[in-house]
Structure 1
Amino acid sequence: MSIKKNKPVIGISIGDINGIGAEVTMKALLDNRLQKMITPVIYGHGKALTFYRKALDMNEFNFIQIKSIEEVHHRKINVINVVQESPEVMPGVETRDAGSMALAAIDQAIVDLKSGQLDALVTAPLNKNNINSTETPFVGHTEYLTNAFDTTESMMFMVSEDMRVGLVTGHIPLKDIAAGVTEASIRAKLKIMIRSLKNDFGISKPKIAVLGLNPHAGEDGLLGNEELEIIQPVVKSFKEEGALVFGPYPSDGFFGMMHQKRFDGVLAMYHDQGLIPFKALCFESGVNFTAGLPIIRTSPDHGTAYNIAGKNDANPGSMRSAIFLAHDMIKRKENLMAT
């Protein structure tokens, strides 16, 4: 049963406590606008937040510790300790304990999402290396959450105010990308993107650009046949179904000419093809959104940034945008359900 609430309850998994996750979370939540709009629940540990409050001279950051989501206080910043022992905080240092705590934070948030007591999850950055193991395979939030919610298809969707880039293939080695670019995979991601742009972003007739896989989009087969044999037929079939889908476009020229501004969404074939231009243009305000899940999950578009951890140099812009986007999606979902 969902708890009664007067503001959306948004969970924030703390990520790696030795990175900048705690810092950007604390800085973002000090925004008075957010405090009026949401009820935040941080999944981590009070001792870690106390450490950074002192280290970063953020005495104005106050929180209460609760034992479970049922005790949530709507006028406070809530913290749930996901491990019993007090964590050792070592800014900039990769430790196995920090990885264990980051995973515990996600797992507890998943439990509360499944029980309907969280409206959305915002994930602070973590380090895959100190989480991944033979017992717990972990290649990224997107894949882990897709598994946890028994979803057959999801999509990494990088979004900002005027740029949205989705990926056909995600966290896989470069040598495996071509095998992952199939008519079925492109079609599945396009369906997710169209549905997300309509339902999550309120765009009734989204216009989508599809990028090529090869340099110069294959140069009519001179530099590869994937565009002619795989990508073009999918684009054509979507057009025949009435969708505004165009391409394939050479990615260098496409972003070089800022053509992404002409479209509501851009479908890239692989991780770096989409994320390099996105982060170059939108790094301080971009958000990583997982489309296709039955829950709302957003994240800042950066990593743990060990090199600046604990130095008070981290910019909270992307984390703030991730929380705002989660809030907006919750409200849009509520409006859709009311109609």
Structure 2
Amino acid sequence: MNTKSTIKVGISIGDMNGIGPEIILKSLQDSRVLELFTPVIFANSKVMSFFGSHFKIKLQFHGISKAEEAIEGKINVVNVWKETAKINFGEEDKSIGGFAIKSLKAATEALINKDIDTLVTAPIHKNSIQSDDFNFPGHTDFLAQELKGDSLMFMVSDNIKVGLLTDHVPVKDVSSRINEALITKKVNAIHESLKKDFRIREPKIAVLGINPHSGDGGVIGKEDDEVIRPAVKQFVDDGKFVFGPYAADSFFGSKNNANFDAIIAAYHDQGLIPFKTLSFGNGVNFTAGLNRVRTSPDHGTAFDIAGKGIAESSSFSQAIFMSISIFRNRMEYLKLTKNPL
């Protein structure tokens, strides 16, 4: 763990044919950010210089062989590979996906070894990354394997926080995946994260229903009454402020979300459509429940605008500063809860 004045923020390069390199550079182009944290990019110095030239963003890169050599006040680049990467903006390319995974694996190893304090991942393309050596639908599943804890996809912004019972699961399989044990695990993870990572002493959590109108008393499905309600009741019996199930169609439109510190959605689009509608560009994808801090922007590779210099970097910048805030909150929480004996 970094004991110096600034936190070491590791950055994986993502799919280089997408907007990842551009938003990384734009997030670092104001030299004052180097007073707040030490960036450590896992890529290659030559390819980063190429991106700087292409996007006309003049930055000086400090090439190093491993993250522990990072120097404060510089944009450090760990040279993860030596071969030349052929960049074709906007194209799906397995070889570029391979570089993305090399970057991610090197950054994750550095995170485990505490050579960096947090990890911010640029977007990857889910098809390009698939190989015999990497068979995961995305970052979260890979990090769940490599890091300790139970991972939770937690979309956060200043105004709204949304967790998911199921994430990258086909809609037809959602109801069969949800049971009381899963709800208990996910709610506990969010409850713990709100206390530890966001300094909320008594979290209030809303659980959305699986079916339209939360099943309408069993007319449109029994899962809400038979699975969600008993799980929620158990939390209430345990003294936690957990409520639901709420009908998802009116929950956000009525601004009921403002009454809660976090919302748990049953499946991906049920949670992410309202989240991105309300927070797009300022939202952050945070992998809660793990023993290390990882964040990412709330968008993908955006191949359609890659290489054009028009990508908006606000979400990536938010991801950087959110990771720093969470890291500091965790350190403070550990101090406050440490057994004095």
Question: Please, what TM-score do these two structures have when normalized by structure 2?
Answer: 0.96
User: Are 2:189 and 1:192 aligned?
Assistant: yes
User: Are 2:294 and 1:297 aligned?
Assistant: yes
> Which residue identity does 1:326 align to in structure 2?
S
Q: Helix, strand or coil: the match of 2:159?
A: coil
Q: Helix, strand or coil: the match of 2:218?
A: coil
User: Quick one: distance in 1 between partners of 2:235 and 2:30?
Assistant: 43
Unaligned runs of 5+ in 2: 337-341
User: Are 2:15 and 1:16 aligned?
Assistant: yes
Q: Helix, strand or coil: the match of 1:128?
A: coil
Paired residues of 2:29 and 2:57 also in contact (CA < 8 A)? no
In percent, how many aligned pairs have the same letter? 44
Deviations 1:134-153 (A, max 9, x none): 442120111110011253x2
Deviations 1:265-293 (A, max 9, x none): 00001111101111111110000000101
Alignment of 1:46-195 (within 5 A): 46-59=45-58, 61-151=59-149, 153-195=150-192
> Which residue identity does 2:325 align to in structure 1?
D
Root-mean-square deviation (Å): 1.3
**Candidates 219, 228, 231, aligned match of 1:231:** 228
Residue 4 of structure 1 and its aligned partner are, at CA, apart by 4.9
User: Quick one: distance in 1 between partners of 2:32 and 2:235?
Assistant: 41
Aligned length: 336
**Candidates 304, 307, 314, aligned match of 2:304:** 307
User: Quick one: distance in 2 between partners of 1:33 and 1:237?
Assistant: 49
Q: Helix, strand or coil: the match of 2:77?
A: strand
Residue 8 of structure 1 and its aligned partner are, at CA, apart by 0.6
User: Quick one: distance in 2 between partners of 1:177 and 1:83?
Assistant: 40
State the partner residue of 2:339. none
Residue 50 of structure 1 and its aligned partner are, at CA, apart by 1.6
User: Quick one: distance in 2 between partners of 1:92 and 1:32?
Assistant: 29
Residue 48 of structure 1 and its aligned partner are, at CA, apart by 2.4
> Which residue identity does 2:194 align to in structure 1?
L
Residue 70 of structure 1 and its aligned partner are, at CA, apart by 2.3
Unaligned runs of 5+ in 1: none
Paired residues of 2:151 and 2:287 also in contact (CA < 8 A)? yes
Moved segments of 4+, more than 3 Å: none
User: Quick one: distance in 2 between partners of 1:143 and 1:272?
Assistant: 18
Task: Give the 3 Å change call, closer, same or farther, for CA 200–150 of structure 1 in structure 2.
Answer: closer
**Candidates 255, 259, 262, aligned match of 2:259:** 262
Residue 260 of structure 1 and its aligned partner are, at CA, apart by 1.2
Q: Helix, strand or coil: the match of 1:285?
A: coil
Q: Which moved more, 1:283-292 or 1:5-14?
A: 5-14
